[in-house]
Amino acid sequence: MNYEELLIQNKQEHLLDYIKYLDEKDQAKKETLIKQIENINYEQMNKLYATTLEMMNPEKALEAAFVEHLPFTNRAKLTKAEYKKIFAVGKEIITNNQLAIVTMAGGQGTRLGHNGPKGTFLLDVKPEPKYLFQIIVEDLLHAKEEYGVYLNWYIMTSNENNKMTTDFLEEHNYFGYPTDHVKIFVQGDLPLLDEQGKLIVNKDYEIKVASDGNGCIYKSMADEGIIDDMKAKGIEWVFVGSVDNALVKNVDPILIGLTKIEGNEIGSKSIAKAYPQERVGVFCKKNGHPAVIEYSEIPEEMTEEVDEDGELLYGEANIMNHVYTLNAIEKISKEELPYHSAHKKADMTMVDGTVIKATEPNAYKYEAFIFDGFKFFNNMTLVRGVRENEFAPVKNAEGKDSPATAVELYNNYWKL
Ligand code: UTP
């Protein structure tokens, strides 16, 4: 089918006007646009848009789900003997260099609004400002001091920020981390759709795309040869964390050790919700499998349910500190993960080049979520850590979870 037929069949005829315009103005851009049009998976996009319309009913998402408490281990309550035993198991994996670290850095960071990849954001901590990538490297260098090994570090970027990320890390000499232990890979992307389900054009007359969500990490690791690379290096465990937590502990023997001892293939570190209505995703079991439910999905009465000790039943907040066996990552990479739609602001370019700036959300972005990979397992290990030691997110430009709050948490933790 040629591009014209494709567009007509999929109700995207508006793009024909752009092609007609470019035919007179810019042949190279016209060719690029046509190539993009030919490469879109319309069946997938049509399905995604149909699901968006269906999901406008907020009850729908949780309708068929049976939600239960997911047990966790409170690290602060481990006895000395338990701690020692778990630590030893985790330490052995680390010192044998069987643990790899993956940093997810493919997000757009729209809420922060920083001009560049989030990892290149300079956080004004004491005694001197540090980039988010630098903070991660320092954490890995601490692990080198502690366990005597340079762990292999993988960074997931997007088509949009891969070059900027690579250039930045090169320029800063990877903040002293040995480059033979660093690999950068690229995740995929998907087109955005406007509220009528139409493809959007950007200022370069290309179809506007965005990274396809951190849940695509599994498939990207398979497609980009990362799983094979890890196998070749004898790696058996993988920690996956986000780029935007200034207190991330990438190398945690307790999390890895306990996951192994409990015979699980996946594990995660949580923190206790600050208060029942806190707007965070929490761990649970959904239809018998480990999951995270978003604050928008959880019914009001469930947020306040407690156990006999007065602990919230759904109080373990997800901070994206996940650990997997490499086999688990490979298993998930072969499965289909659902896409979730987010209503976002997207500037749009009209045929004549006029850009319409978005002031309100006007488009749908499709993302897979990393925690949707948990459902392919019957159980997972959950370790509760201490919020002040583990979590200093940089999400928003101001207010909650902003550089200002992260700086304070960072300085307090390091007693600076
Ligand atoms: P968020 O979901 O907070 O998104 O990502 P974000 O891109 O940082 O920020 P907003 O929502 O646009 O403001 C959590 C982690 O997942 C990574 C991010 O880089 C961050 O480390 N991520 C997100 C990806 O690697 N790829 C994606 O497609 C999305």
pTM score, two decimals? 0.94
Give the ligand 1 atom nearest the CA of 344.
12
pLDDT surpassing 90 at residue 57: no
Q: Does the CB atom of residue 242 touch ligand 1 within 6 A? A: yes
> Model confidence over 188-213: pLDDT tens digits?
999 999 999 999 999 999 999 999 99
Alpha-carbon distance of 125 to 134, in angstroms, equals 12
DSSP notation for 280-326: --EEEEETTEEEEE-TTTS-HHHHT-B-TTS-BTT-EEEEEEEEEEH
Ligand 1 centroid to 5 CA: how many Å?
35
Tally of helices (H runs) and strands (E runs) in the chain: 15, 20
- Binning pLDDT at 50, 70 and 90, where does residue 297 land? confident
Q: What is the pLDDT of residue 59?
A: 61
> Model confidence over 314-337: pLDDT tens digits?
999 999 999 999 999 999 999 999
Ligand 1 centroid to 108 CA: how many Å?
6
Q: What is the pLDDT of residue 65?
A: 82
pLDDT surpassing 60 at residue 61: no
Ligand 1 centroid to 369 CA: how many Å?
10
- Binning pLDDT at 50, 70 and 90, where does residue 154 land? very high
Ligand 1 centroid to 102 CA: how many Å?
14
Pick 172 or 297 by higher pLDDT: 172
What CATH code is assigned to 40-60+77-271+318-377?
3.90.550.10
Q: What is the pLDDT of residue 62?
A: 58
> Model confidence over 215-274: pLDDT tens digits?
999 999 999 999 999 999 999 999 999 999 999 999 999 999 999 999 999 999 999 999
Instruction: Among 108, 248, 340, 343, say which to mutate for ligand 1: greatest number of ligand atoms within 8 Å of CB.
Output: 108
Alpha-carbon distance of 162 to 214, in angstroms, equals 15
Phi-psi label, residue 150: left if phi above 0, alpha if psi -120 to 50, beta otherwise: beta
Nearest CA to ligand 1 atom 25: 106
Alpha-carbon distance of 265 to 381, in angstroms, equals 8
DSSP notation for 149-174: ---EEEEEE-TTTHHHHHHHHHHTGG
pLDDT surpassing 70 at residue 359: yes
Q: What is the pLDDT of residue 280?
A: 94
Give the ligand 1 atom nearest the CA of 212.
28
> Model confidence over 70-89: pLDDT tens digits?
999 999 999 999 999 999 99
Q: Does the CB atom of residue 107 touch ligand 1 within 6 A? A: yes
Give the ligand 1 atom nearest the CA of 242.
21
Average pLDDT, the chain: 96
Nearest CA to ligand 1 atom 2: 107
pLDDT surpassing 70 at residue 281: yes
pLDDT surpassing 70 at residue 63: no
Segment 16-41 mean pLDDT = 96
- For the chain, the C-alpha Rg in angstroms (whole number) is 22
Q: From 159, 189, 242, 193, select the one nearest 11 (Cα to Cα).
A: 193
Q: What is the pLDDT of residue 286?
A: 95
Ligand 1 centroid to 110 CA: how many Å?
9
Segment 54-77 mean pLDDT = 82
Alpha-carbon distance of 373 to 265, in angstroms, equals 12
Q: From 308, 355, 318, select the one nearest 202 (Cα to Cα).
A: 355
Query: What percent of the chain shows pLDDT beyond 70?
Result: 98
Nearest CA to ligand 1 atom 15: 242
Q: What is the pLDDT of residue 299?
A: 85
Instruction: Among 156, 158, 243, say which to mutate for ligand 1: greatest number of ligand atoms within 8 Å of CB.
Output: 243
Alpha-carbon distance of 150 to 182, in angstroms, equals 10
Q: What is the pLDDT of residue 56?
A: 74
